[in-house]
Structure 1
Amino acid sequence: MQVTETLNEGLKRAYAITVTAAELDAKVNEKLVEAQPEIEMKGFRKGKVPMALLKKQFGQRVLGEAMQEAIDGAMNSHFETSGDRPALQPEVKMTNEDWKEGDDVNVEMSYEKLPEIPEVDLAGIALERLVVKADDADVDEALANLAETAKSFEDTDEGTAAEDGDQVVFDFLGKVDGEAFEGGAAEDYPLVLGSGSFIPGFEDQLVGVKAGDEKNVEVKFPDEYGAENLAGKDAVFECKIKAVKKAKAAELDDELAKKFGSDDLDALKAQIRDRLEGEYAGAARQVMKRGLLDVLDEQVTFELPPSLVDAEAKQIAHQLWHEENPEVHDHNHGEIEVSEEATRLANRRVKLGLLLAELGQKAEVQVSDAEFTQAVMNQARQYPGQERQFFEFVQQNQQMQQQLRAPIFEDKVVDHIAEQATVTEKEISKDDLQAAVDALDEE
């Protein structure tokens, strides 16, 4: 077998591979000898069929397998010897298309190799970790929001007109073109005005009603309404008002705390403070991660495989196009032009992706089974009632498994780098942290 380099340009490589007819014939004979003990044929005992007859009977079938194995073997041997790692699946094609049995097999293999990643002095990287403490005002605001969810509603005096924020208890019957429709009726329904629970315009028309009133509410279902038979239709809801109730704020006391699983109000405030500071820490981590990626992007330089950059740029351009054209939900559109911005982002993503992968491999970073399972469970929650089908889909889909593992791996590599880097803490306000987070989206 002969392997000859025909292209060595940047990261691009190409090789001519020749499998001689003699090597191929030997491979066929080897496979037939291996199978001979199990073969039965009329007139011969099992395992006693002559090799010449076996070759005549099965030679053509085995020849294809032998050819593929020989080429695969040559490729694997080349990558082991050269140390090259292809960026994408190598392109392999026969160059003697008029090949016939007895001829040598000539194959051309081409690929782009992954680049050599330079060493990075992780200890020389300086990072800033933003720290935000939850002050009493933050805790009180969060506590008030909790109390809002625990508020109750009390009956009002007879003749009280409903206002925004009041709860109206009523019966209703919805009709389209004079006909009642399924799901358009209820009794003693409690609706908080201004909550946005009903379709636009419904709640506004109940402002001012009193217990005992009857009122027809005229609305139009949104064009994108979930039920196709109602989407875009005009409807009339016949409403009978049973009661108008005023909201009563929950008392900020130990009883409220117990409703949320805390022993007392002080314990609830402590839990709220911990939760808020945990949220601030998560946001600060994203800011520090962006800072780290910016440093790596600026400090580390190496040649990038054009095929990976092109594929990433096309994907980015496609995503940006759909963000600009949200009304298009399928892919039945023309070719999308790749902008300079998409190419710039693609270069950054490919570079950082390869660099983080290399650093993670050297540090032996692994995604544990428990971490992967948690990621699958988190994703499955987005499909209520179909969790089992989602789990089965993930089990059978290697690409989906990789998509779920990739962000976990990346975060663990970032944590590893941060442990080696010089990190200083800077205490800032909640508003300054929000501004830093907002700036991430603007870049």
Structure 2
Amino acid sequence: MQVTETLNEGLKRAYELILTAEELDAKVNAKLAEAQPEIEMKGFRKGKVPMPLLKKQFGQRLMGESMQEAIDEAMSKHFEDSGDRPALQPEVKMTNEDWKEGDDVNVEMSYEKLPEVPEVDFSGVEIEKLVVKADDAAVEEALASLAETAQDFKDRRKGTKAKDGDQVVIDFVGKVDGEPFEGGAAEDYPLVLGSNSFIPGFEEQLVGVKVEEEKSVEVTFPEEYGAEHLAGKAAVFDVTVKAVKEPVAAEVDDELAKKFGAEDLESLKGQIRERLEAEYTGAARQVMKRGLLDKLDTLVSFELPPSLVDAEAKQIAHQLYHEEHPEDHGHDHGEMEPTDEHKTLAERRVRLGLLLAEIGQKAEVEVTDAEMTQAIMAQARQYPGQERAFFDFVRQNAQMQQQLRAPIFEDKVIDHIAEQATVTEKEITKEELQTAVEALDDE
């Protein structure tokens, strides 16, 4: 096949591919000759069907296959010989639309090639690594928070009115049209007011009740209530208040520790300290990563494929639109027009993305099967009860696999760069770390 360059401008390339009628005919004949021994046709023995008859019967279909194969082969050879890597899928179109059998096939192929990414010497790159220790005050604060989540309730003084957040122990019988209904009664039921665990309007009517008080609570079941025979129905609950209790934080002791799976209080403190420092390390890494990317962005400069920048700018505009309009869950808002700010950010992302990809490729950075499985499991936990379905979905979806693989690959490349750079540690407080993390969102 004849290949002629028609455009060479920056990263843009275009070529004219000509598949002559003779080449196409030869490919069709080769396919027919290969298939001939296995073909049976009425009036002929297997493998003895004449070539002209085969060509008449199957030639048109094989011609289309042969065209596509010839074009694919020419493209593969071109990219192998030239070393070009297209930024996006090349655009391929037939230019002689009035083509008929016996004519040459004229095809135009165009694409934007990925740029040559310059080498970077990381030995001169300086990175600051923030370090935060979990001090006793932070551990005690976390312990107090755990104690609140493990709160107990103690009886209020008799005659005290129940407040929002209090626990009331009640007997109740629910009736619809004066008749009790199944599942509408209970004894010694502990209900925390404000927990929204009962029908809307129920808990609010118990605010202010006292021990031994009897009260009729009138509510209406929601239209979408699970039990169809009760949905939308008005009901009256006869309630007897047996206790009014106030919330109290659990004691910070060995018993609290055991509630959270630790042997004793000291073991729980040790677990909390480890968890806090792991959180601090994760946050500090994000700050370090942003600082490193900022430095890399100033170290390299090369031409960017406009198609990648445009696509990234549109994606940024689309993402920011939904962040600013969380109520709009659809995608029928039309195409978002990127601003200059979006385009500048897109250029940074594309430049750094190409740089990290190049560095990772040269360093032979790979994402292992174990790392992918761990990432899939982490995502699957967001769909309790549907983990297996999520695993199957990811296995069958190459785009989803890439979305999970990309951040792992990027982090491993960042680690590879950090190993060669000069890293200095700086110990700071958790408040200073929080300020640094918040600054990331402001940029």
- C-alpha distance in 2 between matches for 1:112 and 1:180: 74
Listed one character per residue, the Cα deviations across residues 15-63 of structure 1 (whole Å, up to 9, x for unaligned) are 0000111111111111111111211122322222222222222111111
- Give 2:406's aligned residue: 406
Find the counterpart in structure 1 of residue 35 from structure 2: 35
For 1:126 and 1:231, the matched residues in 2 are separated by 65
Q: Which residue of 1 aligns with 2:346?
A: 346
Amino acid at match of 1:410: E
SS in structure 2 of the partner of residue 267 of structure 1:
helix
Give the distance between the partners of 1:177 and 1:12, measured in 2 at CA. Answer: 77
Matched AA of 2:410: E
Which of 174-183 and 277-286 deviates more?
A: 174-183
Q: 1:232, 1:346 → 2: CA distance? A: 52
Provide the C-alpha distance between the structure 2 equivalents of 1:323 and 1:182, rounded to a whole number of angstroms.
Answer: 45
In the other structure, the counterpart of 2:417 is: 417
Q: Which amino acid aligns with 1:441?
A: D
Pairwise CA distance, 1:387? 2.1
- Please name the residue that 1:245 is paired with: 245
- 1:396 is matched with which residue? 396
**2:26 pairs with 1:18:** no
| Deviation for aligned residue 1:238 | 6.3
C-alpha distance after superposition, 1:221-245 (max 9, x if no partner) = 9999999999999998765423112
Q: Secondary structure at the match of 1:13?
A: strand
The SS at the match of 2:308 is helix
2:148 corresponds in structure 1 to: 148
Moved more, 156-165 or 282-291: 156-165
Matched residue, 1:327: 327
Q: CA deviation at 1:264?
A: 2.2
Residue in 2 that maps onto 1:309: 309
Q: Distance in 1 between matches of 2:291 and 2:375?
A: 25
Distance 1:404 1:106, change over 3 A: same
CA 1:71–1:231 in 2, change beyond 3 Å: closer, same or farther? farther
1:298 aligns with 2:298: yes
What residue is the counterpart of 2:57 in the other structure?
57
CA distance in structure 2 between the partners assigned to 1:253 and 1:329 by the alignment:
47
What residue is the counterpart of 2:46 in the other structure? 46
Q: Which residue does 2:376 correspond to in 1?
A: 376
The SS at the match of 1:111 is strand
Relative to 1, partners in 2 of residues 1:218 and 1:338: Cα closer, same or farther, differing over 3 Å? farther
Decide whether aligned partners of structure 1 residues 145 and 63 sit closer, same or farther in structure 2, where only a CA change above 3 A counts. same
Identity of aligned residues (%): 78
SS of residue in 2 equivalent to 1:275? helix
Query: Secondary structure of 2:261's partner?
Result: coil
Q: Which moved further from structure 2: 100-109 or 232-241?
A: 232-241
Quote the Cα distance in structure 1 between the aligned partners of 2:119 and 2:228: 59
How far off is 1:386 after superposition?
Answer: 2.2
2:193 is equivalent to residue 190 of structure 1: no
| Cα separation, 2, equivalents of 1:324 and 1:218 | 41
Q: RMSD value over aligned CA atoms?
A: 3.2
The one-letter code sitting in structure 1 at the alignment partner of 2:309 is V
What one-letter code is carried by the residue in structure 1 that aligns with 2:256? L
Tell me the CA shift for residue 199 of structure 1: 8.5
- Distance change in 2, residues 1:424/1:244 (3 Å): same
* Partner AA of 2:324 in structure 1: E
2:211 partner SS? coil
Instruction: Give the Cα separation in 2 of the matches to 1:425 and 1:79.
Output: 46
SS at match of 1:84: coil
Measure how far apart 1:181 and its partner are.
Answer: 11
Corresponding position of 1:87: 87
SS of the equivalent of 2:168 reads: strand
Cα offset, 1:151, TM superposition: 3.0
For the structure 1 residues 288 and 117, does the alpha-carbon distance in structure 2 shift closer, same or farther, using more than 3 Å as the test? same
Q: Secondary structure of the equivalent of 2:191?
A: strand
1:84-121: CA deviation from partner (whole Å, max 9, x where unpaired): 01111101011111111111111000011111111111
- Unpaired runs of at least 5, structure 2: none
How much has 1:216 moved relative to structure 2? 5.9
- In structure 2, C-alpha distance between the alignment counterparts of 1:219 and 1:320, rounded to whole Å: 42
CA displacement 1:389-415 (0-9 Å, x = unmatched): 222221221111111111111111111
Q: Which residue of 2 aligns with 1:427?
A: 427
Letter in 1 for 2:34: E
Alpha-carbon spacing, 1:438–1:61, altered in 2? closer, same or farther (3 Å): same
Deviation of 1:220 after TM superposition, in Å, equals 10
CA distance in 1, matches of 2:183, 2:300: 61
**SS at structure 2 position matched to 1:4:** strand
Cα gap change, 1:42 to 1:195, in 2 (>3 Å): closer
- 1:263 match: secondary structure: coil
1:113 aligns with 2:117: no
Provide the secondary structure at the position in 2 that maps to 1:130.
strand
Moved more, 203-212 or 51-60: 203-212
1:192-271 superposed matches below 5 A: 192-193=192-193, 206-215=206-215, 239-271=239-271
Inter-CA distance 89–141: structure 2 relative to 1 (3 Å threshold):
same
Indicate how the Cα distance of structure 1 residues 53 and 119 shifts in structure 2: closer, same or farther if over 3 A, else same: same
State the Cα distance separating 1:345 from its structure 2 match.
Answer: 1.7
Residue 61 of structure 1 aligns to a residue in which SS? helix
Name the counterpart of 1:130: 130
TM-score normalized by the length of structure 1: 0.90
Q: What is the total number of aligned residue pairs between the two structures?
A: 443
Q: Using the TM superposition, name which of 105-114 and 188-197 deviates more.
A: 188-197
Q: Deviations over 1:360-412 (max 9, x none)?
A: 11111111111111211211222222222222221221111111111111111
Query: 1:186-214: CA deviations, max 9, x gaps?
Result: 66443334556678987565443212224
